[in-house]
Amino acid sequence: MKPIFIKFLLLIFSLLFIIRFTFFPVASLGIGVAEGGLNLIPFINMFNGFDIKTFIVNIFGNIVLFVPFGIILTSIMKSKKVISIGLFLSVSIEVFQFMMSFRVSDIDDVILNTLGTYIGYKITMHIWLSNDSNT
């Protein structure tokens, strides 16, 4: 198999993983089991009445969910456009979630998902630049 085919296959798996956790309820994590809503005020809900499990799932879950996406897409494109694509994907997800009665659309998710994409981008670029300087 060609490496580019494998990268696109991994990208598809990453997107399916993101879709799994953003559109379908996961009761064990408390995702998608409450009434939906909309939050456009950054970080207002992040520290307001959350227990530690909810805080960890919200902060780290949103970031970690998008790091592989950022890594894989950067390995294909090697462009800062990856971050914009991550932002666009995250906004698109939140718009769709807004139309669902059991999901909350939250600006924090957009920020954290984009941060996850950025981290994936930086990891890949660091590895790529390190490999270039070693050859």
pLDDT (0 to 100) of residue 103: 86
The arithmetic mean of pLDDT across residues 74-78, rounded, is: 93
Residues 8 and 18: their CA atoms lie apart, in Å, by: 15
Residue 135: pLDDT over 90: no
**What is the rounded end-to-end Cα distance, in angstroms, of the chain?**
25
More confident residue, 119 or 34: 119
Question: Nearest to residue 104, comparing CAs of 113, 118, 94?
Answer: 94
> Is the model's pLDDT at 46 over the cut of 60?
yes
**pTM here?**
0.90
Q: How far apart are CA 135 and CA 133, in angstroms?
A: 6
Asked which of 2-16, 33-47, 54-68, 113-127 is least confident by mean pLDDT, the reply is 33-47
Which domain range does residue 96 map to? 3-134
Q: How many domains does the chain have?
A: 1
